[in-house]
Amino acid sequence: MAKIQVSTNINNESVEYLCEPHDTMLSVLRNQLDLTGSKESCGSGDCGSCSVILDGELVCSCLMLAAEAEGSKLETIEGMSEGGKLHALQQKFLEKAALQCGICTPGFLMASKALLDHNPTPTETEVRFWLAGNLCRCTGYDKIVKAVLEVADDMKESA
Amino acid sequence: MSETQYLAAKTIEEAVKAHSKANGSARFLAGGTDLLVQIKSGIKKPELVIDVKKIVELNSIKELSDNEFVVGASVSGANLNRNHKFAKLWPGVLEAFRLIGSEQIQGRASLGGNLCNGSPAGDSVPALIAAGCKAIIAGPDGRKEIPIENFHKGPGKTILENGEMLVSLKFPKREINSSDVYLRMTPRTEMDIAVVGCGVNISLENNICTAARVSLGAVAPTPLLIEEASEIMVGTDLNSDVLDKVAALCMQACNPINDKRGTIDYRTKVAGVLLKRSVLIAIDRIKGN
């Protein structure tokens, strides 16, 4: 069966790949493009560990076909730091120890970034609702929520 | 799903033709939050997946005339939520839609997908029925409009024939002093499937009800329009006696399944409770409380 050729943009770089019709975006990211930061945990859209930002929207890359990325703009965890400098959210997650085993962390960071992109001044309730699609089985939610709120505060002060 | 082919249709004609030609083995792909899970788990094995999101009409929100909206079948929850005018006119539809899944799911899931998935418990469906919304369907013989309450035939089954595609959802022109509400009961507080869902849409004039539509989800093989409810409600001030009567009607209409998430008795009782609460919230919304 003929493979599908896809031209897309990942982390501000033009990327081309060949995929099978049934390949998910997540499998192409991880297995073909060596972007292994996005994790596969549930594979059914429940856990959020494969979260990426597709044309500005937060989505699960496990619930997206790789062929659908044609002509799109994708952001993954690998594009979050700039020039070797960690994103404010990454830095704060480290400072607040907002991670334990780390499997859920890339998804939480992408979801948190999408939240602050859409709503730079979220309330704690808004943060908790927004991050409800990301599961942490070490159950370290509180530190994650506090880290996101602190980054939002820092952004407000520096604005 | 190794045999599955993928087609990103650019026009409605292309999508309808491909679906028709596949003779029952094709599925339309909107947000994919149901379909891709069903394919992965082997519940559905389509030979062709037709992606409809590149078709402009399916992915746009249009205001035909002032307060008259048409929402493309593949418009995501995140996208519709950013339309402040729609949110103001149809708070019940939007709150029902936004209850579906996490933000990640909302980035992709669509009203059209929720409808076509055919679940009796789809959260947006009772709200769409209460709204008096119509499904615009394209097929080999052109277009037709079907009231949402006639769209489902049973669990997972819709009236769509081979070659027919849901294009958009057409809302009636919104009258002033009207509002809608969707409430649901779930065992968990969030991200769960409704045990009962209730959509209510009413109009008031000087505290008297001038129009009303009531719909229930998850209590029968298909979402229900409670047709007699409007006869009881219109012309009254929606006092507690009226609400008792409508609640009794809702309970009578229930024909739910009995499962670990809700027994028949429980689902039936909750349907009446949600009806009353929904109407009271709708009244508050109209009065701006």
Q: H-type helices in B119-239, by residue range?
A: 124-131, 227-233
What pLDDT is stored for residue B15 in this prediction?
98
Please tell me the number of Cα atoms within 13 Å of A51 on its side-chain side.
33
This prediction's pTM = 0.96
Indicate the angle between helix axes B240-253 and B264-287, nearest 10 degrees.
140
Output the pLDDT for position B2.
53
Spell out the residues 6+ positions from residue B98 whose beta carbon is closer than 8 angstroms to its own.
B77, B81, B106
- pLDDT confidence of residue B13: 97
B27/B67 same-domain check:
no
Span A74-82, mean pLDDT? 97
Segments forming the whole domain that contains residue B137: 60-170
CA of B51 vs chain A CAs: smallest distance (Å): 8
Average pLDDT over residues A68-88: 97
Domain edge (last residue) among B144, B170, B196 = B170
Asked if residue B162 and residue B191 are part of one domain, the reply reads: no
Q: Which of A21, A45, A63 sits opposite B4 (nearest CB)?
A: A21
Q: Cα separation of B107 and B75, whole Å?
A: 9
Chain B contacts of A68, Cβ < 8 Å? 8, 29, 32, 51, 53
User: Directed axis angle between helix A88-95 and helix A141-158, to 10°?
Assistant: 130
Share of chain A above pLDDT 90, in %: 95
Q: Are A38 and A30 in contact (CB under 8 A)?
A: yes
Tell whether B166 and B188 lie within a shared domain.
Answer: no
pLDDT of the residue at A115:
98
Are the Cβ atoms of A58 and B104 closer than 8 angstroms?
yes
Average pLDDT on A69-97 reads 97
d(CA A50, CA A33): 15
Interface contact flag, A57 B78, Cβ < 8 Å: yes
Nearest to B105 among A22, A24, A133 (CB): A133
For residue A39, the distance in angstroms to the closest alpha carbon of chain B comes to 15
- Mean pLDDT across chain A, nearest whole number? 96
CATH hierarchy code of domain A4-79: 3.10.20.30
Each residue's pLDDT, cut to its tens digit, for chain B (289 residues) gives 457 999 999 999 999 999 999 999 999 999 999 999 999 999 999 999 999 999 999 999 999 999 999 999 999 999 999 999 999 999 999 999 999 999 999 999 999 999 999 999 999 999 999 999 999 999 999 999 999 999 999 999 999 999 999 999 999 999 999 999 999 999 888 788 899 999 999 999 999 999 999 999 999 999 999 999 999 999 999 999 999 999 999 999 999 999 988 999 999 999 999 999 999 999 999 999 7
| Interface mutation target, options A26, A50, A57, A119, chain B, most CBs of B under 10 Å | A57
- The closest alpha carbon to B195, from B259, B262, B123, belongs to B262
Cβ–Cβ contact B102 with A under 8 A: yes
Beta carbons within 10 angstroms of residue B12's beta carbon: 18
Q: Which of B82, B104, B186 best probes binding to A when mutated, by most A CB atoms within 10 angstroms? A: B104
Please check whether residues B144 and B189 belong to one and the same domain.
no
CATH architecture observed for domain A88-158: Orthogonal Bundle (1.10)
Given A57, A64, A130, which is nearest B32 (Cβ)?
Answer: A64
Overall domain count for chain B: 3
The partner residue sitting opposite B107, judged by closest CB among A20, A44, A58, is A58
At residue B288, the pLDDT reads 92
Q: What pLDDT does B271 receive?
A: 97
* pLDDT for position A159: 77
Q: What is the DSSP string of A75-106?
A: E-GGGSSBTTBPPHHHHHHHHTT--SS-SSHH
The per-residue pLDDT for range B150-202, each reduced to its tens digit, is 999 999 999 999 999 999 999 999 999 999 999 999 988 878 889 999 999 99
Q: How close B250 comes to chain A (CA, Å)?
A: 32
- CATH number of the domain bearing residue B130: 3.30.465.10
* A58: confidence class by pLDDT, cuts 50, 70, 90: very high
Mean pLDDT confidence for A57-82: 98
User: A4 to chain B: which residues are within 8 Å by CB?
Assistant: 6
Residue A2: pLDDT band by 50, 70, 90 thresholds?
confident
Domain ranges of chain A: 4-79, 88-158
Q: Which of B179, B173, B203 is nearest to B66 (CA)?
A: B173
- Optimal mutation site among A22, A109, A136, interface B, most CBs of chain B within 10 A: A22
In the prediction, which pLDDT does A1 show?
Answer: 64
| Residue-level pLDDT at B1 | 44
